[in-house]
Amino acid sequence: MTADDRPTVAVVGGGIAGLAAAWELTGGGAGPGAQSPSVVLLEAADRLGGKLATVEFLGGPVDVGPDGFLGRRPEASQLCHEVGLGDDLVPIGASGAAVWARGRRRPLPGGLFLGVPTRLLPVARSGILSAGGTLRLAADLVAPRPDARGPLGDRAIGPLVARKLGRQVVDRLVDPLVGGIHAGGVADASAAAVLPAVLSVAQRRASFMRSLGKIGARAPGPGGEPAFWALRRGFGSLVDRLVEHLDGRAVDLCLSRPVEAMERAGSRWVLATAAGPMSADAVVVATAAGPAAALLGPHDPEAAAILGALDYASVALVTFAFPEDALPDDLFGTGLLVPHGTPLPRQVAQAAGVDPEEPFLVTACTYLWAKWPHAARPGVRLLRASVGRAADTRARKMSDADLVRRVGLELTTLVGAAAEPIDALVTRWDDAFPQYRVHHLLRVSSVEAAVRRLGGVAVAGAAYHGVGVPACIGSGRAAATDVLAQLQGADSTASA
Ligand SMILES: Cc1cc2nc3c(=O)[nH]c(=O)nc-3n(C[C@H](O)[C@H](O)[C@H](O)COP(=O)(O)OP(=O)(O)OC[C@H]3O[C@@H](n4cnc5c(N)ncnc54)[C@H](O)[C@@H]3O)c2cc1C
C-alpha cells in the first residue's frame, strides 16, 4: 500500500479519548506500520486535551481538571510509558481521607468498598453514623435484609444500599464517595455501571457487608502498589507529549474545527466543518454525548435520542493558595468529602448572607500539598475545593469573585482556614460529568450496536464505559481498533 492509497480516518474530538484513538490508529506504542491509515483529528476548541488541563500556579504546574488516575486500571500508566513519560509518574503522597459528619471532620474508616462498608467495627468507631445508624448497619450481620425486588439487570445504588445497610450509610459514605467521582448522587446511579460488585451480592441471603468483603478480598488487589498516580508536570504534559508524537506521525491535528455534520457518500463519510468538507473512510466520534447525538442523528435517530438524553453535571474547582500556617496541622489524608445537603453552620450562613438551612456549596476539598509531592510549594499550601454536582447548579449562577468569597467562608469551618488565601483560581467545567443512571449499560450497548450497523464509525469517551481517564483512554483505543478492523475487513472484501 502506498502513502496515497492509505485509508483516511477522522477522529472527532481531541480530549484524551480522541488523542488515545489517534495514538492507536497510528500504531500505538509500536508506531505506524505499512497498514496504518492517514489520520486527521478535528477539535472544536482552540486547544487539545479536553478535560485534561494543567496551568502554572505560584511557580509550578497544577492540574485544574483531573489530577490523578487509578492505578488498578492499566490504560493510563501504559500510555504514559508508551509516550516516554514513565519516569514522570508519581504515586499519591498520602493515604486516607475524611468526611464531614456530625459537625466535624472524621477520618473515613477502613474496609470501605467505594463508600460501602464491608466491616462494622471501623465504621462504628469512626463516629460518622449516629447510634441509630450504627445499629441499623449492625443489623446486616445478624438479620440481613433480603433484596425485595429480585434479580434485575441493574438497580439504583442508593435505594439498594439503603435497604441493606441503612440510609445514613448512603448519605454519609456512599453518596459522597461515588458523588466525588461522578459529580452526581446515588439515588438513581446505575449499580451495574458504577458499582457492579454491589449488584452481584445484592441477591445473597447472607450479610451484605460480609459478602462484599469477600468479593473485595478476591478482587485482583493492587499488590501493594499505590492506588492513585499523577504526572509530575501534570496531565498537560501527557497531552503535549501525545501531540509531539502524533505530529511526528503526520497526524493532521486541526484546532478550532468543530465538526458540524456527518454525511454518507457511498462507503465513505463526509464531515462538514467551517473550513469545508473533508472525507474519510472511517470516523471515531470521541465527543461528549450531545455532539455525538447531533452527528449521528440523521443516520440513527434512536441511538441519537439515547445519547441526547444522557445528562451532564457541571462542576467548578477553586484552587486556593493559603499561607502554610493558615491551615491546621491535623488535616487528615488527601482531603475531605462533604455530604450533599449538609446545612451551613449558622455563622457561615449569616456571613454569606444566605438562609440558615442553605447547604454547603463545597462537595470536596483536596489537600494538594499532601496528595502530590509536585503540588508542594515552600511556605504555601495549595487546596482545591470542588463545587457543583447534578441537581446543584448554584455555583454556575455565581461570579468567580462571589464563588471565591463563598467557598473561602465555607473553608473557615470545613478545614479551619484561619487566614485569607494568597491567591485563588477558578476553573469551570460546564456539562462535564455524564450521569450514569439505571440501565446505562443497556443504553450504551444499544448505541454501540446502532453505530456498528452504520459501518465505518465508532464512538469513544466518558459517555460510555467509565468517566475516569484510564477508561477514556481504553475506550479511545478500543474505538480505533474497531475501525481498523472494519477497514481491514472492507479491504479484504474489496481484494477478494
Ligand atoms: C474537574 C474534573 C476532575 C476530574 N478528575 C478526575 C480524576 O482525578 N481522575 C480521573 O481519572 N478522571 C477525572 N475526571 C474525569 C476525566 O477527566 C474525564 O472524564 C475525561 O478526561 C473525559 O475525556 P473525553 O476525551 O471523553 O472527553 P473531553 O475531555 O470532554 O473531550 C471531548 C472533546 O471533544 C470536543 N468536541 C465536542 N464537540 C465537537 C465537535 N462537534 N467537533 C470536534 N470536537 C468536538 C471537545 O471540545 C473536547 O475537547 C475529572 C473530570 C473533571 C471535569
422-463 pLDDT tens trace = 999 999 999 999 999 999 999 999 999 999 999 999 999 999
pLDDT recorded at residue 146: 81
Query: Nearest-CA neighbor of 197 among 216, 171, 174, 222?
Result: 216
pLDDT in tens, 300-317: 999 999 999 999 999 999
Query: Which CATH number does 107-218 carry?
Result: 1.10.3110.10
Q: Ligand 1 centroid vs 142 CA: distance in angstroms? A: 45
Between the alpha carbon of residue 469 and those of residues 370, 412, 435, the distances in Å are 22, 32, 16
Q: What is the largest CA-CA distance in the chain?
A: 78
258 lines ligand 1 (CB under 6 A): yes
The pLDDT assigned to 225 comes to 64
Domain boundaries, the chain: 8-53+74-88+234-310+437-495, 107-218, 312-434
Cα separation, 124 vs 275, whole angstroms: 62
- Work out the average pLDDT over 228-252: 97
Span 229-243, mean pLDDT?
98
Is pLDDT of 407 > 90? yes
CA dihedral 267, 272, 275, 281 (to 10 degrees): -20
CA of 202 to the centre of ligand 1 (A): 32
Whether 371 has a pLDDT exceeding 90, the answer reads yes
Instruction: Look at 126-130, 216-220, 292-296 and tell me which has the smallest mean pLDDT.
Output: 216-220
Average pLDDT estimate for 61-74: 95
Comparing 59-68, 140-149, 282-291, which segment has the lowest mean pLDDT? 140-149
Rounded Cα gap, residues 405 and 361, in angstroms: 12
Determine how β-strand 312-323 pairs with β-strand 380-387.
antiparallel
Give 314 Cα–ligand 1 centroid separation in angstroms: 12
Mean pLDDT of the chain: 94
Secondary structure percentages of the chain, helix, strand, coil, to 5: 40, 25, 35
Q: What is the reported pTM?
A: 0.96
Asked whether the predicted pLDDT for residue 2 surpasses 60, the reply is no
Spell 395-431 as b/e; 16+ CB within 10 A means b.
Answer: beebeeeebbebbbbbbebbbebeeebeebbbbbbee
**How does residue 252 score in pLDDT terms, banded at 50, 70 and 90?**
very high
Specify whether the CB–CB gap between 161 and 198 falls below 8 A. yes
Amino acid 179: pLDDT: 85
The answer to whether the CB of 16 is under 6 A from ligand 1 is yes
The answer to whether the beta carbons of residues 36 and 5 sit under 8 Å apart is no
Residues 6+ apart with CB under 8 A from 44: 13, 256, 257, 258, 259, 287, 291
**Which uninterrupted H or E stretch holds 477?**
helix 469-495
pLDDT band at 215 (very low <50, low <70, confident <90, very high): confident
Ligand 1 midpoint to CA 188 (Å): 23
Per-residue pLDDT, averaged over 187-204, amounts to 92
**Contacts of residue 98, Cβ cutoff 8 Å, sequence gap at least 6:** 105, 106, 107, 108, 331, 332, 333, 335, 336, 337
User: Cα separations (Å) of 463 from 3, 298, 308, 397, 444?
Assistant: 34, 20, 11, 25, 8
Ligand 1 contact via 467 beta carbon (within 6 Å): yes
Indicate if the pLDDT at residue 496 is higher than 70: no
pLDDT of 289 strictly over 50: yes
CA-closest residue to ligand 1 atom 35: 13
Q: Which residues pair with 230 in a beta bridge?
A: 90
Is 312 within 8 Å of 435 (Cβ atoms)?
yes
Is 80 exceeded by the pLDDT of residue 68?
Answer: yes
Cell numbers at 52, concatenated: 485534561
Q: Encode pLDDT of 335-356 as tens digits.
A: 999 999 999 999 999 999 999 8
Locate the DSSP E strands across 141-200.
none
pLDDT tens string 459-494: 999 999 999 999 999 999 999 999 999 998 876 655
Q: Determine if residue 166 is left, alpha or beta; phi over 0 gives left, psi from -120 to 50 gives alpha, anything else beta.
A: left
Q: Is 303:442 a contact under the CB 8 Å cutoff?
A: no
Report the pLDDT averaged over residues 50-78. 96
- Residue 335 Cβ inside 6 Å of ligand 1? The answer reads no
Residue located nearest, by CA, to atom 34 of ligand 1: 13
* pLDDT in the model for residue 490: 72
What pLDDT was estimated at residue 216? 74
75 Cβ below 6 A of ligand 1: no
> For a pocket test of ligand 1, which of 259, 284, 287 has the largest count of ligand atoms closer than 8 A to its C-beta?
287
The fold for domain 312-434 equals Polyamine Oxidase; Chain A, domain 2 (3.90.660)
pLDDT score for 493: 56
Confidence (pLDDT) at 487: 94
The H-or-E segment that residue 335 falls in is: strand 335-337
| Whether residue 326 has pLDDT greater than 70 | yes
- CA-nearest residue, atom 22 of ligand 1: 462
Which CATH number is correct for 8-53+74-88+234-310+437-495, 1.10.1200.10, 3.20.20.410, 3.50.50.60, 3.40.190.10? Answer: 3.50.50.60
Closest CA to 153 of 473, 443, 368: 443
Q: Which of 295, 310, 469 to mutate to test the pocket of ligand 1 (most atoms within 8 A of CB)?
A: 469
Give the pLDDT of residue 491: 65
Residue 432 CA, ligand 1 centroid: distance in Å: 7
What are the helix (H) ranges across 297-345? 301-308
pLDDT recorded at residue 222: 43
Any ligand 1 atom below 6 A from CB of 366? no
Q: Ligand 1 centre and the CA of 139: distance in Å? A: 42
For residue 16, report the distance from its CA to the centre of ligand 1, in Å.
Answer: 7
Predicted confidence (pLDDT) at residue 398 exceeds the cutoff of 80: yes
Query: How many percent of the chain have pLDDT more than 90?
Result: 89
Overall average pLDDT of the 178-183 stretch: 90
Going by pLDDT thresholds of 50, 70 and 90, the confidence category of residue 151 is: low
